[in-house]
Structure 1
Amino acid sequence: MTFAWYAHLKELNSQPWFVAALVSWGIALLEYLFQVPANRIGYTVLSVGELKIIQEVITLGVFVPFSLFYLREPLKLDYLWAGLCLVGAVYFMFRGKFA
């Protein structure tokens, strides 16, 4: 979803917004074709909250390199703080799971 949501800012910035939306929807559809079955499989062993926290960790793990290397955004200390917040979220969501 990172590519679908943000790549158009660099690649399609001279195109009308609806062109960017259509391209992004096409990319997002491909991801949903994988995400929906993955969530169904994951839900057999994890709760919805656990699945969501995992999704957010993966999203930030993909977004930071994407924004740095693809979009050429500067590295910000806020990425570290956001990552630490997610570490806390993972801890609280899974702390009783493996005890």
Structure 2
Amino acid sequence: MNLFSGASGWQTVGLLILSNVFMTFAWYGHLKDLAAKPWWIAALLSWGIALFEYLLQVPANRIGHGAGFDLAQLKITQEVITLAVFVPFSMFYMGQPFRTDFIWAGLCLMGAVYFIFRSA
């Protein structure tokens, strides 16, 4: 079965991408934007942002599971998306330099994708 042959697989990936954008800003955006504020203000703002993450992530996982993704496939898909969102965020928003370690981490994740999806 090809998990990406129908709309549900792509809908899952799309929702996970949007979810990860919110997650990345919730987890790391405060390090830039609220660095001078008390931690509890950053925590409250992060929780508010994370609400939108969960409003996208929960349906993404439910749609994906219903479309035939197993739990490991959902998790590995989410991890690949996390790296794909995090690298541009860290470079363009946070001003971090590109590191070749991003490539090596991506290649390791591609190996994980292969092993998790090879029997699908």
Please, what TM-score do these two structures have when normalized by structure 1? 0.96
CA distance in 2 between counterparts of 1:96 and 1:48 reads 14
- CA-atom RMSD, angstroms? 0.6
Give the equivalent residue in structure 1 for 2:35: 13
Unmatched runs of 5 consecutive residues or more in structure 1: none
1:75 paired residue among 98, 107, 110: 98
Percent of paired sites with the same residue: 66
> How many Å apart are 1:34 and its aligned residue?
1.1
CA distance in 1 between counterparts of 2:61 and 2:29 reads 25
> How many Å apart are 1:31 and its aligned residue?
1.1
Q: Which has the higher contact order (CA 8 A, sep 6+)?
A: 2
CA distance in 2 between counterparts of 1:64 and 1:53 reads 17
Give the equivalent residue in structure 1 for 2:73: 50
CA distance in 1 between counterparts of 2:57 and 2:99 reads 29
Give the equivalent residue in structure 1 for 2:115: 92
Matched, 1:2 2:24: yes
CA distance in 2 between counterparts of 1:62 and 1:85 reads 16
Unmatched runs of 5 consecutive residues or more in structure 2: 1-22
Structure 1 runs, 4 residues or longer, greater than 6 Å off? none
